[in-house]
Chains A and B, each alone.
Chain A
């Protein structure tokens, strides 16, 4: 079937409803994307312009839809961990964690403190990773190229740490149901310690470059306003809300994985523009570094996997010497483990906002249904409201400040 541009746009009513009266000023429809560098992925936005002012913006998503939720129903519980990595490629570990927490809630197994602390440390690294990529690319969009190199320099170190822990730079699958995939490697304290001692001074460098930079200030201050009421109504979460003065962070309000044991602040800014979101994320990076330092210094000793032989693969040595371990190994590898029937909704504070996994089990070894409430999907829904009556040049800064990942949106 052949598609013309009109075929495609005609399904978006925002475009259809524009009055065609002779007295109305002439309007232009501009197709931004799907391959526009500033959309950070395959996002198409149909902009209705009057001069340089955006009258309506209609996001068109789904280009990266891969049917991950369907895929979940085909894999067994442990295999599905690898799918969670591939949703949001900048917050892989956050997605690992929320899935593991949800399934562990259904299984009702207790996770040892060392595994919980390592999970916290790794998801905070994942937050740093995500915020660094955001800061670098967002600054690049606005024209500050140096930031990109600075941020990616630190991100590279974080990816090396991920590789050291899990063997993978991006698709780590490090957080598994029942604990971690591998024991933290020998000597991780030195590597993490070296990075985290240097990191605050790197953030100082970013701030030096940007805080008093007149171009940066003019491009971000007063740009991308959207009222807090609209944000809550439209489902926006995360740093966007904290940039509008709302002190809400799931790590504090509904602590998971022993976050209640860590001392950190929730940065809040009130100016509700791109600048305040930048300030929130910069301060979040500092807070994350604080959490990682606490995890490094107070890391408990002990097991890194739950004492749940029906879920966790047995130790290799035990498998070769003990009958029970061999049986459990055989059962887990051949058919997976069964999860009691039930449904749970588990949410965590990801770099972009609330990730919530709604997991339904029917008592078999495969998930019956997994729904991912991803922050990018919720946030992007607020884009039309945010871009209304703004200049097209500001739209780049405004949509960048939402920090969405299209893989996360389309799943």
Chain B
């Protein structure tokens, strides 16, 4: 892939992963959609690598029906105020997936039309899928046993 945003290409289990510079994600997505026929966005998700730094991986799963190929994009984000540009300008379907990532991981998406919680109640505090978020107890504190 000849694009300035692609930092590295990895192949594993027959799947291709591109490590992408977060600053160029929208530009790359537009390029992939317009020139490489990846017209479908299958989903966006994230992985918390706590306590590593950069802490978050934002994952984009792209699919081209015409080429019958799938592609994974991965952006690494810092644990402090993680933010990335929204892909909603490229695929409208990115909307809910980005809201879910925001809801579950607290990753911000710049220029998102409606970045509010989607699965958790709107007044919820904390981001449940972060690794330092407890399974039991209340918010970020474990109950003393």
With a cutoff of 8 Å between Cβ atoms, the chain B residues found around residue A344 in the complex are 13, 15
Name the residue on A nearest B66 (C-beta): A248
The residue from B92, B121, B128, B135 contacting A234, defined by CB atoms under 8 A apart: B92
Q: Please tell me if B22 contacts chain A, counting CB pairs below 8 Å.
A: no
The residue from B39, B40, B59, B113 contacting A358, defined by CB atoms under 8 A apart: B59
Which among B42, B95, B116 has the highest number of chain A CB atoms within 10 Å? B42
A62 close to B47 (CB less than 8 A): no
With a cutoff of 8 Å between Cβ atoms, the chain A residues found around residue B12 in the complex are 342-343
Q: Please tell me if B122 contacts chain A, counting CB pairs below 8 Å.
A: yes
B118 close to A62 (CB less than 8 A): yes
Q: Please tell me if B91 contacts chain A, counting CB pairs below 8 Å.
A: yes
With a cutoff of 8 Å between Cβ atoms, the chain B residues found around residue A371 in the complex are 43, 45, 59
A71–B128 Cα distance when bound, in Å, is 11
Q: Please tell me if A407 contacts chain B, counting CB pairs below 8 Å.
A: no
A356–B44 Cα distance when bound, in Å, is 11
Given A345-B61, A358-B59, are A369 and B42 also a contact pair (CB < 8 Å)? no
Among A83-91, A293-301, A373-381, the stretch that binds chain B is A373-381
Provide the main secondary structure of the chain A interface. Answer: mixed
Q: Please tell me if A11 contacts chain B, counting CB pairs below 8 Å.
A: yes
A105 close to B45 (CB less than 8 A): no
Q: Please tell me if A354 contacts chain B, counting CB pairs below 8 Å.
A: yes
Q: Give a binary string over B34-70; 1 marks a CB under 8 Å from any A CB, 0 the rest.
A: 0000011111010110000000000101000100101
The residue from B42, B113, B121 contacting A356, defined by CB atoms under 8 A apart: B42
Q: Which of B1-29 contact A (CB under 8 A)?
A: 12-13, 15, 17
A232–B42 Cα distance when bound, in Å, is 10
Is the interface on chain B under 10, 10 to 19, 20 to 34, or 35 or more residues? Answer: 35 or more
Q: Please tell me if B81 contacts chain A, counting CB pairs below 8 Å.
A: no
Q: Please tell me if A52 contacts chain B, counting CB pairs below 8 Å.
A: no
Given A74-B135, A345-B70, are A61 and B118 also a contact pair (CB < 8 Å)? yes
A354 close to B42 (CB less than 8 A): yes
Q: Please tell me if A24 contacts chain B, counting CB pairs below 8 Å.
A: no
Q: Please tell me if A398 contacts chain B, counting CB pairs below 8 Å.
A: no
Q: Please tell me if A212 contacts chain B, counting CB pairs below 8 Å.
A: no
A233 close to B93 (CB less than 8 A): yes
Q: Which of A42-82 contact B (CB under 8 A)?
A: 61-62, 65, 67, 69-71, 74
The residue from A12, A70, A368 contacting B47, defined by CB atoms under 8 A apart: A368
Q: Please tell me if B144 contacts chain A, counting CB pairs below 8 Å.
A: no
Q: Give a binary string over B76-107; 1 marks a CB under 8 Å from any A CB, 0 the rest.
A: 00000000000000011101110010001000
With a cutoff of 8 Å between Cβ atoms, the chain B residues found around residue A8 in the complex are 122
Is the interface on chain A under 10, 10 to 19, 20 to 34, or 35 or more residues? Answer: 35 or more
B92 close to A358 (CB less than 8 A): no
With a cutoff of 8 Å between Cβ atoms, the chain A residues found around residue B32 in the complex are none
A381–B95 Cα distance when bound, in Å, is 8
A61 close to B61 (CB less than 8 A): no
Q: Please tell me if A177 contacts chain B, counting CB pairs below 8 Å.
A: no
The residue from A69, A70, A356, A360 contacting B61, defined by CB atoms under 8 A apart: A356
With a cutoff of 8 Å between Cβ atoms, the chain A residues found around residue B104 in the complex are 69
With a cutoff of 8 Å between Cβ atoms, the chain A residues found around residue B72 in the complex are 345
Q: Please tell me if A408 contacts chain B, counting CB pairs below 8 Å.
A: no
B128 close to A358 (CB less than 8 A): no
CB distance from B67 to the nearest CB of A (A): 10
A373 close to B43 (CB less than 8 A): yes
Name the residue on A nearest B39 (C-beta): A232
With a cutoff of 8 Å between Cβ atoms, the chain B residues found around residue A230 in the complex are 92
A253 close to B68 (CB less than 8 A): yes
CB distance from B94 to the nearest CB of A (A): 8
The residue from A62, A248, A354, A369 contacting B121, defined by CB atoms under 8 A apart: A62
A356–B70 Cα distance when bound, in Å, is 12
With a cutoff of 8 Å between Cβ atoms, the chain A residues found around residue B133 in the complex are 70
A378 close to B93 (CB less than 8 A): yes
Q: Give a binary string over A247-261; 1 marks a CB under 8 Å from any B CB, 0 the rest.
A: 010000110000000
CB distance from A370 to the nearest CB of B (A): 10
Report which B residues bind A (CB closer than 8 A): 12-13, 15, 17, 39-43, 45, 47-48, 59, 61, 65, 68, 70, 72, 91-93, 95-97, 100, 104, 113-114, 116-123, 128-129, 133, 135
- 12 further A-B contacts with Cβ under 8 Å, apart from A233-B39, A356-B43, are A11-B116, A12-B114, A70-B129, A232-B40, A235-B91, A235-B96, A342-B13, A344-B13, A345-B72, A347-B70, A356-B42, A356-B61
Residue contacts A-B, CB under 8 angstroms, 20 given? A11-B116, A65-B120, A67-B128, A106-B13, A232-B39, A232-B40, A233-B39, A233-B91, A235-B93, A235-B97, A254-B68, A345-B61, A354-B42, A358-B43, A358-B59, A358-B61, A360-B47, A369-B48, A373-B43, A377-B100
